[in-house]
Structure 1
Amino acid sequence: MVLATAAGTGAARAEGRPFLAYHASWYEVRTDDPALTTIARLPPYITHLALSFARPDLTYKGGLDLDGTGLQYPYSGTVLKGAIAALKVRVPQMKVLVSVGGWNYPAWDRFDAGALARLVKDLGADGVDMDYETHHPDCLRTRAGRIACPGDALSVRVVEEIRRALPRPYVVSVAGWSVGAYGEGAFANARPQGGYAGVTLALLRAPVAQEIDLVSIMSYDAGPAFRPDEAFRAYRVHWKGPLALGVQVLPGTSGGPRFTLDYTARTLARVMDDPLAGAMLYALRLEPEGVTSPDNPDYRSLAVAICVTLGLGDCTARMP
């Protein structure tokens, strides 16, 4: 019932809604045939596919050699390039991005935009997803009431360097921290508080934000007080383009709610009055422990729930 209602709400506004899905390279199937990869067989309702994760300090000199890039696909770069090409034949409108960063790759001070751009171009990808995460955000509110964080200038510089290396029409998307737009104005006291509150604000209000095409919110694993729809409204104050709420396959460790099918549909339905609202899924190929069910869904069923709630169409297309 929830999914049917949500689909009715969003179907008329489905055009322009983003659905970005991360692809966990470390769980991809092993094959030498590009057509047998899960990448080549993805359904058409995904709008952006983020290959996860490249290192900010990646080493890549060319030749489709993935060693040193951080990507953990169990096949060669040649097979990965072929998989992207096969996907593009089937779903030419889907944007394939190389996602750089993530929690395990925080070496942003050694970011190599040139190497990343060469990798994107050699793979035949469409751009970059920047997942800028820091283990020590240490954000504070100044006397003027604005949030300032030690990594503000670096996060802005990284996007500037990406855009210089990959000008439009290459796509640049940004993954924002759950509470990354909190700490100021109407959201000064939004919960939860802490050193991450406002960590994305400097980037969102920098001139280079005009060079960003999509923002997704890691709206999960932020504790029981966190409300994804409130985070969406906080981000919307600073970012007017396509904005995706994150959905997590594996349960978090912070005590926050589990993304069941019902919770996913209800959460997304709360922002469907915004015509550029969408969803992000973390991540394809991840599987929860135990028997899958509506209360313990896998990435396949969550992807369908997102598709139906956003009213994207072709939601019965098989997810590998």
Structure 2
Amino acid sequence: MTPAGAAEPGRPFLAYHASWYEVQTSVAADTSLARLPGYFTHIVLSFVKPDLTYAGDLDLKGTGLLYPFPGTVLKEAVALLKARQPHIKVLISVGGWGYFAWDKLDAPAVARLVRDLGADGVDVDYETPDGQCAPQGETMSCPGDPMSISVVEQVRAVLPRPFVVGVAGWSVGAYGAGEFRTAAPRSPWTGVMLALLNSPTAAQLDLVSIMSYDAGPHYRPQEAFRAYRRVWKGPLMLGVQVEPGTSGGPRFTVDYTRRMLDSVTSDPGAGAMLYALRLKPPGDIGPDNPDDRYLAPAICMALNLAKCSAPVP
């Protein structure tokens, strides 16, 4: 029997949970994390440093997570969410912009944190300050290619299946090869995901999300989806951003978000990623300037999931 307020899982719908904006409380049941609706399939606790310091005992101070309460409360909130919505997988996101110390990745510490929190795996958000990717033959070559592959291998070695390992891909990360060899826009990160997704290590992944936003006015998320689909056949999610970008690209209004997702849902493995729960855009909130409470139900309906009227706390 499905618990009250829960939804049976369907298409993948992953949402990042911004730890720095969580409710300040000592009661796990009062956290927004514990009260999330059931149309999500993956909730990602954001962000953990690759070079985290974590010996155990749910001490979060050296992890990079910025929840305004102790790790004991976070662990209980995760347990409450999973009790209410048993199908939701809770991941921790390792990396993100500003956490670049991949050469100091402490995968065993990451695994201890996952297990101690009662989480289900890791989202690898492999980002570098300058991609420096360049054409090489029929594909792209990036200085960080060996490291991106090694990071996934290290994480999977300490978190074997059924733990989940996913990756967040750069907006243009699958451009630069095949029919997308000259796809616009070009950037230093063009093709940054190709080496990983074309390698045998890709078989160790369970899902891929695309940061399909903040890439300029010439970027087309639908085309990026097709480029990623050329090299990745598993669950693939187009990203939706709460806050307005800074590159001149389109605002993710409710209408734009629905139209974007409608363009890819003929693919049975297509889904969505939301960045991020708890973030609020500047200005008056509404369908043309939506926050997570507008966007999450809109994404739910675009993906034809169940119980889309359930509110986001």
CA contact (8 A) 1:16 1:275 kept: no
CA distance in 2, matches of 1:238, 1:220: 20
Residue identity opposite 1:130 in structure 2: V
Q: Pick from 235, 250, 255 the counterpart of residue 248 of structure 2.
A: 255
Q: Pick from 107, 111, 119 the counterpart of residue 113 of structure 1.
A: 107
Look up the match of 2:26.
32
CA contact (8 A) 2:139 2:181 kept: no
CA distance in 1, matches of 2:29, 2:238: 30
Residue identity opposite 2:171 in structure 1: S
CA contact (8 A) 1:264 1:306 kept: yes
**What's the TM-score, normalizing by structure 1?**
0.95
CA distance in 2, matches of 1:16, 1:303: 15
Residue identity opposite 2:24 in structure 1: R
- Deviation of 1:15 after TM superposition, in Å, equals 6.1
Is there any run of 5+ residues in structure 2 with no aligned partner, and where? 1-7
Residue identity opposite 2:266 in structure 1: D
CA distance in 1, matches of 2:52, 2:101: 9
Look up the match of 1:210.
203
Look up the match of 1:86.
80
Identity of aligned residues (%): 65
Q: Which structure 2 residues correspond to residues 219-258 of structure 1 after superposition, within 5 A?
A: 219-258=212-251
CA distance in 1, matches of 2:184, 2:133: 15
Matched, 1:148 2:136: no
Is there any run of 5+ residues in structure 1 with no aligned partner, and where? 1-13
CA contact (8 A) 2:107 2:155 kept: yes
Alignment: residue pair count: 306
Look up the match of 2:300.
307
Matched, 1:98 2:82: no
The change in CA–CA distance for 1:15 and 1:272 in structure 2 (over 3 A counts) is farther
Q: Which structure 2 residues correspond to residues 51-62 of structure 1 after superposition, within 5 A?
A: 51-62=45-56
CA distance in 2, matches of 1:15, 1:234: 26
Look up the match of 1:264.
257
Residue identity opposite 1:38 in structure 2: S
| Deviations 1:66-95 (CA, angstroms, capped at 9, x unpaired) | 010000000000000000000011001100
- Deviation of 1:17 after TM superposition, in Å, equals 1.1
Residue identity opposite 1:179 in structure 2: V
- Partner-residue secondary structure (3-state), 1:40: helix
Q: Pick from 293, 301, 307 the counterpart of residue 286 of structure 2.
A: 293
- Partner-residue secondary structure (3-state), 1:129: strand
CA-based RMSD: 0.9
- Partner-residue secondary structure (3-state), 2:34: coil
